[in-house]
Amino acid sequence: MIFEPVERPIAGLRQFGRDIGGIYIATAIVAFLFSSTGPVAIIISVGLAGGLSEIEIGSWIFAACVFSGLMTIGFSLAYRQPLSFAWTIPGTVLLASALDHLSFAEVIGAFWVTALLLAAIGFSGSVRKAMRYMPMPVVLAMVAGIFLQFGLDLVLAFESEFVLSAAMVLAYVGVLLMPGLGVYAPPVVMALVAGIAVVLIGGDFNAGQGVPQWLAWPVFQLPQFSQQALFELVLPLAITVLVAQNAQGFAVLMNSGHRPPVNNMTIACGAGAAVNALFGAVSTCVTGPSNAVLASAGERLRQYTAGVVFGALMTVFGIFAFAATWLIVKLPAEFIAVLAGLALLPVLLRAFVVAFSGRFQMSALIALLVTVSDVSIWNIGAPFWGLVIGLTVAALIEREDFRAHLADDERDRTDN
């Protein structure tokens, strides 16, 4: 089936109230802090460098956060899985060079065509079919290559903010050493609390000048379609969304025991990208790191509540984009680095275990190395090339593993 049906009744308020818990709120906060700091800073940086006005940048942030937040809430409730959406970070970076010689209207025209392409691919049902030919070890090796930097940033944070980093890690480890405490105070929550305490006591939070503006408003943007913009941006943006972003998001969810509706979510990415384009925002995608954090702790059947909380936080953040950005950028960068690194440690561990504990070890290694290299060819980033080269190695060198994988997949589909 092209459209994946909702498997269970949509969770109501009563059911949601029974399922929500401190650990799910904590993982939602961690995912939110990750999504609302570095990625938003990239939008601001690219927008300013490209000559966009404060109103245009605010509209971009508003659309990217609010619409992806609402989509996250809807999908998480409908499928009772932590299914979070955001905007493509590599795609945002790609625009930095494009705005040097293209007008913003031409870039928006490319957003529109990308949205149509994503929706068409989703309606074709080809995404789920393509996933069958992507062995999980190779995909998760690509994911491990992306998430490895979060682990390294956790370690590097000790170099510049030793006290803050040590306090957060000690709080995290302390909970792990006392398993009974983890039921009431999850490790990431304690790391968060410890980090906030150190920031406040140490005076690292410098409010400085007041909030320049509280609310961000959506501003309608007219597209302009130019051949140069379409050739330069559409294919890289679509590949970035489908492979560099969505593939890792689906992989971490599947590795956590979830069954994301890949066709429906791809169609939603196309629809979300179209709505975003109305207000000058880059394309929507299924976010890898945020989904990984949301699915990293607690009971699998209750993790959807983390997705709902995350979506609500992103929606509110988008409405108060300027004030919220002003507040969050006052936090030390190391605070976010340590928090994200600790939250993603279990995900990174599972990715490495799946990638190198069975079949496809050589192709998984190649996928990991290419992804970590951060190479960019034809304006398409390393995750895409890591996956493509890894799958090529699997098909050419590890043919026995590939045949066994396809046979297992066919058997699973027959049994289901």
Say if 116 falls within a structural domain.
yes
With contact defined as beta carbons under 8 Å apart, do 113 and 224 qualify?
no
Residue 85 three-state SS: strand
With contact defined as beta carbons under 8 Å apart, do 243 and 384 qualify?
yes
**What is the model's pLDDT at position 211?**
54
**What is the model's pLDDT at position 279?**
93
**What is the model's pLDDT at position 278?**
93
pLDDT in tens, 343-381: 778 778 888 888 898 888 899 999 999 988 888 777 667
With contact defined as beta carbons under 8 Å apart, do 319 and 37 qualify?
no
Closest among 191, 308, 293, 212 to 252, alpha carbons compared: 293
Average of pLDDT values for 36-42?
73
Q: Percent of the chain beyond pLDDT 70?
A: 89
Residue 391 has pLDDT above 80, yes or no: yes
**Two tokens at 372?**
């970590």
What one-character DSSP code corresponds to residue 103? -
Say if 215 falls within a structural domain.
yes
Average of pLDDT values for 143-170?
88
Say if 5 falls within a structural domain.
no
Distance separating alpha carbons of residues 273 and 121, to the nearest angstrom: 13
Q: Which residues fall within 8 angstroms of residue 160, CB to CB, at 6 or more apart?
A: 334
Distance separating alpha carbons of residues 21 and 5, to the nearest angstrom: 27
Neighbouring C-beta atoms of residue 152, cutoff 10 Å: 13
**What is the model's pLDDT at position 316?**
92
Name the band, by pLDDT with cuts 50, 70 and 90, for residue 109. Answer: very high
With contact defined as beta carbons under 8 Å apart, do 284 and 265 qualify?
no
Closest among 262, 6, 244, 225 to 121, alpha carbons compared: 262
Q: How many domains does the chain have?
A: 1
389/217: higher pLDDT? 389
**What is the model's pLDDT at position 3?**
78
**What is the model's pLDDT at position 151?**
86
Structural domain span for residue 342: 13-415
Instruction: Tell me the range of 192-196, 200-204, 406-410 where mean pLDDT is highest.
Output: 192-196
With contact defined as beta carbons under 8 Å apart, do 69 and 318 qualify?
yes
Closest among 372, 392, 390, 395 to 382, alpha carbons compared: 372
Closest among 193, 299, 262 to 1, alpha carbons compared: 262
Say if 7 falls within a structural domain.
no
Say if 2 falls within a structural domain.
no
**What is the model's pLDDT at position 405?**
77
Task: Write down the pTM of the prediction.
Answer: 0.76
**What is the model's pLDDT at position 115?**
93
Place of tokens 């370690």: 155
**What is the model's pLDDT at position 387?**
83
What one-character DSSP code corresponds to residue 329? T
pLDDT in tens, 263-301: 899 999 999 999 999 999 988 999 888 898 899 888 999
Amino acid at 352: F
What does pLDDT average to over the chain? 84
Average of pLDDT values for 330-337?
78
Say if 1 falls within a structural domain.
no
182/82: higher pLDDT? 82
Distance separating alpha carbons of residues 361 and 398, to the nearest angstrom: 9
Say if 344 falls within a structural domain.
yes
Average of pLDDT values for 155-169?
91
**What is the model's pLDDT at position 203?**
67
Say if 8 falls within a structural domain.
no
Beta strands 284-286 and 85-87, pairing class: antiparallel
**What is the model's pLDDT at position 184?**
58
What phi, psi does 377 have (nearest 5°)? -125, 130
402/63: higher pLDDT? 63
Closest among 91, 16, 117, 43 to 376, alpha carbons compared: 91
Place of tokens 């090339």: 385
Distance separating alpha carbons of residues 387 and 378, to the nearest angstrom: 16
35/82: higher pLDDT? 82
Q: Which residues fall within 8 angstroms of residue 126, CB to CB, at 6 or more apart?
A: none
With contact defined as beta carbons under 8 Å apart, do 56 and 216 qualify?
no
